[in-house]
Structure 1
Amino acid sequence: MNNKAYTIFISFIVALGGFLFGFDAGIISGVMSFAGPQFNLTEIQSGWVVSAPSFAAMFAMLFSGRISDIIGRKKTLIFVAFLYAISALLSAIAPSYEMLYIARMIGGLAFGAALVLAPIYIAEISTAENRGKLVSLQQLNIVFGFFAAFLSNYFFNKYNTADSTFLTDETVWRWMLGVELIPALFYFVLLFFVPKSPRWLYLKKNYEEAEKVLNQIHGVERGRVEIASIEKNIHADKNKSDLKIKDLLKPSLRFILVIGLVVGILQQITGINAVYFYATSIFKQTGIGTDAAFSSGVLLSTISVIFTFLAIYLIDRMGRRPLLLIGTAGIAVSLLLCAYSFNNATYQLSIEKINQFEFAESQKLVPLADKIYENDLDFKNEIKAVLGNQVYSKNDGEILEAATNINANLVLIGILGFIACFAFSLGPVMWVLLSELYPIKYRGIAIGVIAFINSLISSIVQLVFPWEISNLGNALTFFLFGAVAVIGFFVMLKIVPETKGKSLEELERELVKDY
């Protein structure tokens, strides 16, 4: 294996934590169609189950970078893989809502640490020329995870039939969650084959091993160049005091901290994880039915994979800044298109449709026959009042399919446009930027703090999304996401620098003037 192939190989292994994150995010969108009604969860309880990993992840993100500075990137990642496996097993056998929540919290600790450590590790083994591509492998693995999850959900749902004794509404969601154990164990084993980070080894004064790893990764000639660059930076750090968290607030770091915070917050506050985690539910809102909602999830994840490959191709050619700006503009347009489509929808149940429903309580809907509703809020609230929350939750796909009059294709275009634009911009570029902006001394803790806030925003968005859909309606919910994306575009236009083609040490000299 040549040096380039070897670097890609170990980067891809480390980034497999992203695959597990994407797999879990995609799986839960199908799981809640069954687990929610089974445990009779309210909108907020459903939000807690879905957002639990992100809530736990934000604490892991805050401390994992610092922990890896102490014990090493590799050792921390191996422990992360172990947590992934435990979470998958406990989620599958969870006897209650509380147990399911705790199991997913354990998975969240793994997600948070993996999403922080993979970009740090990959940036520290790569060169300036290929760093953008290699760090983007994490986002590629995330979207591969989404694809695998939606495909898995589609087949589990397909074979969960009335005739099946193996897969039932009570057991299918457990298999959906349990299958994650397979890639988790695979990740755990493969991590033993990656070397320690050479820049971390230099930080620990283990110069001989660091030089050996650099030569192994890049070859002797390029290894010398990387060694010289690291040594120059290490010597410049000799007279600096020990790192304290409050040092991140010093004036010389303020500019790059603001950039990281803006991009980190924007990545989540535009609603990407609401769309991914609730994809099946969102597609049900268009009235296309439960089966079509599951298959639309496969299409959604396919688009993610295609446009993430585009990002990997473009990020070291076009640069970070153009991808961010073009993608964010596209995100805004796509979300506002969804809002427009939902705003023009109407809802009406005919007596013929009601008589075709197969659930026992369907005749309770007869008094609502032929009544036209101008928005989804009024319609869903009246249906819930008649049927009760548990019966409605179990049959919402069938009811909405029968009642909804909407341009579903326009919503699908908006959702897929949003996913495509995110996949080549905010998704991968954020992690590339974070791995580049901060000096090695501050990198672990700076990325940890920003990732903590990123995950906090993500968990809040996931938690309140079911509530928003139930209380604000589809149109206003998507309008708010779109408006935030518009604001974010103009803020990034003002402050985000270009970082492509420069070594980590060059970027440090340019962006951190006098720390």
Structure 2
Amino acid sequence: MSGHGASAAETELPPLTAGPHRKRIGLISIVACFGGFLFGYDTGVSSGAEGPMSEELGLTLLQTGIVISSLVFAAAVGAFIGGRLSDAIGRRKTILVLSIMFFTGVLFVVFAPGFAMVVTGRTILGLAVGGASTVVPVYLAELAPFEIRGSITGRNEMAIVAGQFAAFTVNAILNATLGHVDGLWRVMFGICAIPAVCLFVGMLRMPESPRWLVDKGRMDEALAVLKTVRSNERALAEYGQVERVAEEEKASASGRPNLGQIMSNRWLRRIVLVGIGVAVTQQLTGINTIMYYGPRVLEQSGFTESGALRAATLFGLAAVVGGIFALRNMDRLDRRKTFFIGLFLTTTCHVLVGLSGILIPADSPAKPYVVMVLVTLFVLSMQSFLNIAVWVWLAEIFPLSIRGTAIGISVFFGWTVNGILALFVPTLLGALGTNTFFLFAVIGVIMLGFLWHEVPETRGRSLEALEEDLTSGEIYRSLPRRLPFAGFLWDRK
């Protein structure tokens, strides 16, 4: 349980018990996490496919950049649309729609005769990736009991890094065995169709989120779903809490809040802005630029091109190892604590990478290996303490009536920052080399202050208890005093 203690909402629930319902939760998480795997594979596969693709299609450097970044910017839009769509039609139906989009996007890319069709396919894939990044964590968080919500929801981020590592590995194997075959990049992209089919077929047999069903007034269906993933006694007690909070929320507001109403309510406005800040903080560590341009960093440090590609697989491996560590601790450590540890470690790694570029002579044979180890430690720190915790926190902090929309808004800004970094980091690396990491370190120090002052704790709390404390403002009372310049965003009493 959280170090802040459980409220009556948690203590009055019967304890978790073993049984078929626990296995059912595990199966649901495996099926839904195919969405995360697709997210990871589609963002990672371009690292090995873009070179042969550009050569075969005769793409210019600008066109290649558009192909790569089109997925990222489309993901920002997909995150926002996916969140709102899941609030409207349900989490399960939205994931089914996303699986079809994943498959369709793959077909466009694999059979593309030229630039325009590749960009179209990558845009469709980007919309699906963005949607999956918001809807899958919310779906898992709303189905999981609060005691193990962190580890269940965190499996999606684990699936993302597994997908990225799978993409790196598939690219390396195909290049080593079939590198002489024309159009090999189409095979690299085409493999993504397999998990897309698995996601669609699997989700046909999965239940809808019981909390979404309650929000829509479909009470009998919600209770029936809860009884498949909880013991009978626990299902009835939890259903009562969800129903009570939903009724209180509807009694205090007229219908589902729109964006204007969200921003006019100081508590909703505040938590949405904090959610944006958390999503942007994750991207400003530079983690995705390392996953996109890691070989470029290693080449600048002294590796050959082939050596850099081989060494960069360590980043994917470190992400998987860190993800396993994070899942084991997600329900043992408070979210705030993992945020602070993770951001402190990643900022330290940034400083050390920058110093290595200054202090180690350029012709030193040790320099590339020192940079490789430090960047690998950065990825390991990021995945062990920050990445999974961020996605879990975003999936559980927002009230039910705005959960999909609010996480969509937050992740939209995160993906937008991701896209901006993807565009400009190569230029920064070309101009500043490893000194670029000092910029990430400065940002990290600033964001540590933001996390300390503005991010509420969520571990060990039911979603309904969190919602009650959030809408009353009680959740902020245990936080340190706000930053002096933050007063224009919200009032604090």
The normalised TM-score by structure 2 is 0.87
In the alignment, structure 1 residue 248 sits paired with structure 2 residue 266: no
In the alignment, structure 1 residue 202 sits paired with structure 2 residue 180: no
Change (3 A) 1:306 1:487: same
Candidates 268, 275, 278, aligned match of 2:293: 278
Change (3 A) 1:130 1:29: same
Candidates 176, 188, 197, aligned match of 1:176: 188
Instruction: Name the CA distance, whole Å, in 2 between partners of 1:177 and 1:229.
Output: 45
Q: Can you give the 5+ residue segments of structure 2 that lack an aligned partner in the other structure?
A: 1-18, 475-493
Change (3 A) 1:158 1:291: farther
Shift of 1:38: 4.9
- Partner of 2:322 in structure 1? 307
Contact 1:80–1:110 (Cα < 8 Å) also in 2 = yes
Change (3 A) 1:45 1:328: farther
Candidates 307, 312, 333, aligned match of 1:292: 307
**What per-residue deviation string (whole Å, max 9, x for no partner) do you get for residues 344-396 of structure 1?**
57668xxxxxxxxxxxxxxxxxxxxxxxxxxxxxxxxxxxxxxxxxxxxxxxx
Q: Which amino acid aligns with 2:300?
A: Q
Shift of 1:406: 6.0
Change (3 A) 1:188 1:276: same
In the alignment, structure 1 residue 465 sits paired with structure 2 residue 431: no
Instruction: Name the CA distance, whole Å, in 2 between partners of 1:199 and 1:220.
Output: 17
- Where 2:146 maps in the other structure, the secondary structure is coil
**What per-residue deviation string (whole Å, max 9, x for no partner) do you get for residues 99-123 of structure 1?**
3222111100100111110111111
Shift of 1:86: 1.5
The 5 A counterparts of 1:367-446 are 407-446=367-406
- Partner of 1:370 in structure 2? none
Q: Which amino acid aligns with 2:464?
A: E
The 5 A counterparts of 1:142-157 are 142-157=160-175
- Partner of 1:329 in structure 2? 344
Contact 1:47–1:466 (Cα < 8 Å) also in 2 = no
User: Mean Cα displacement is larger for which, 102-111 or 293-302?
Assistant: 293-302
Instruction: Name the CA distance, whole Å, in 1 between partners of 2:30 and 2:458.
Output: 22
Shift of 1:3: 1.2
Candidates 200, 212, 221, aligned match of 2:233: 221
User: Mean Cα displacement is larger for which, 474-483 or 151-160?
Assistant: 474-483
Shift of 1:43: 5.2
- Partner of 1:28 in structure 2? 46
- Where 2:419 maps in the other structure, the secondary structure is helix
In the alignment, structure 1 residue 485 sits paired with structure 2 residue 444: yes
- Where 2:250 maps in the other structure, the secondary structure is coil
Instruction: Name the CA distance, whole Å, in 2 between partners of 1:466 and 1:144.
Output: 25
**What per-residue deviation string (whole Å, max 9, x for no partner) do you get for residues 57-101 of structure 1?**
111211212211221111111110111112122222333233322
Instruction: Name the CA distance, whole Å, in 2 between partners of 1:347 and 1:36.
Output: 32
Candidates 501, 506, 513, aligned match of 2:460: 501
- Partner of 1:120 in structure 2? 138
Candidates 449, 453, 457, aligned match of 2:409: 449
The normalised TM-score by structure 1 is 0.83
Q: Which amino acid aligns with 2:418?
A: S
Contact 1:29–1:281 (Cα < 8 Å) also in 2 = no
Shift of 1:485: 1.7
- Partner of 1:86 in structure 2? 104
Shift of 1:322: 0.8
Q: Percent identity?
A: 32
Contact 1:116–1:447 (Cα < 8 Å) also in 2 = yes
Instruction: Name the CA distance, whole Å, in 2 between partners of 1:211 and 1:107.
Output: 35
Instruction: Name the CA distance, whole Å, in 1 between partners of 2:118 and 2:426.
Output: 18
Shift of 1:437: 1.3
**What per-residue deviation string (whole Å, max 9, x for no partner) do you get for residues 308-338 of structure 1?**
1111111211111111110111111112222
Change (3 A) 1:283 1:40: farther
Q: Can you give the 5+ residue segments of structure 1 that lack an aligned partner in the other structure?
A: 349-403
Contact 2:87–2:402 (Cα < 8 Å) also in 1 = no
- Partner of 1:63 in structure 2? 81
Instruction: Name the CA distance, whole Å, in 1 between partners of 2:294 and 2:52.
Output: 14
Candidates 327, 334, 343, aligned match of 1:319: 334
Instruction: Name the CA distance, whole Å, in 2 between partners of 1:283 and 1:267.
Output: 22
User: Mean Cα displacement is larger for which, 425-434 or 222-231?
Assistant: 425-434
Instruction: Name the CA distance, whole Å, in 1 between partners of 2:261 and 2:384.
Output: 33
Change (3 A) 1:126 1:61: same
Shift of 1:197: 1.0
Q: Which amino acid aligns with 1:267?
A: Q
List structure 1 runs of 4+ shifted beyond 6 angstroms.
345-348
User: Mean Cα displacement is larger for which, 114-123 or 253-262?
Assistant: 253-262
Change (3 A) 1:286 1:96: farther
Contact 2:299–2:308 (Cα < 8 Å) also in 1 = yes
In the alignment, structure 1 residue 232 sits paired with structure 2 residue 244: yes
Instruction: Name the CA distance, whole Å, in 1 between partners of 2:27 and 2:76.
Output: 28
Contact 2:326–2:385 (Cα < 8 Å) also in 1 = yes
Contact 1:263–1:426 (Cα < 8 Å) also in 2 = no
